[in-house]
Amino acid sequence: MEHFTIATVAEKSPDFRRVLWTGEHTQLVIMTIPPGGEIGEEVHEGIDQILTFVSGTGEARVAGEKREVVSGDLVVVPAGTKHNFVNTGPNPLVLYTVYGPPEHADQAVHHTKEEADAAEAAGEDEPPTE
């Protein structure tokens, strides 16, 4: 059994992205987006994503719609949907997200968005396969 006090674990992580758990069908990831930062516009083909916000304030941009997000909010991004999440507040925007199926390399840790982007571009952030 894996057990996380997820809000506490997410709040303690200074990393842009940290994969906490990877299963065959889903993956749990925590993220900390610095003030003025963003996840970056993206589309996950064949991967659903559910994001739950732990602290901070931000803007969800999903399928052309914009909404404010705050602690306790949950946003669902269906596979194939263009999306981005932007920190609009003075403090880090902290969240955890579940991908189905996994999107990132098992146990990946990216301290910054730049590091995450470089790992993806180099093919070093691929989800596990059989």
Q: What is the pLDDT of residue 84?
A: 98
| Proportion of the chain above pLDDT 70, given as a percent | 99
Q: Is the pLDDT of residue 115 over 80?
A: yes
The arithmetic mean of pLDDT across residues 105-122, rounded, is 96
The arithmetic mean of pLDDT across residues 97-117, rounded, is 97
Q: Is residue 4 included in any domain, yes or no?
A: no
Dist CA 33 CA 93 (whole Å): 5
Comparing C-alpha atoms, which of 63, 92, 58 is closest to residue 79?
A: 63
Give the 3-state secondary structure percentages of the chain, helix then strand then coil, rounded to 5. Answer: 10, 40, 45
Q: Is the pLDDT of residue 19 over 70?
A: yes
Structure token pair of residue 123? 């093919």
For the domain that residue 65 is a member of, what is the CATH number? 2.60.120.10
Q: Is residue 68 included in any domain, yes or no?
A: yes
The arithmetic mean of pLDDT across residues 68-72, rounded, is 98
Q: Is the pLDDT of residue 130 over 80?
A: no
The whole domain housing 96 covers: 15-82+92-122
Q: Is 12 exposed, middle or buried (0-12, 13-18, 19+ CB in 10 A)?
A: exposed
Q: Is residue 50 included in any domain, yes or no?
A: yes
Q: Is residue 9 included in any domain, yes or no?
A: no
Q: Is residue 64 included in any domain, yes or no?
A: yes
Overall pTM surpassing 0.85 (yes/no): yes
Block residue for tokens 């065959």: 24
The arithmetic mean of pLDDT across residues 110-130, rounded, is 93
Q: Got the DSSP string for 22-44?
A: E-SS-EEEEEEE-TT-B---B--
Q: Is residue 98 included in any domain, yes or no?
A: yes
Q: Is residue 7 included in any domain, yes or no?
A: no
Q: Is residue 109 included in any domain, yes or no?
A: yes
Count of domains in the chain?
A: 1
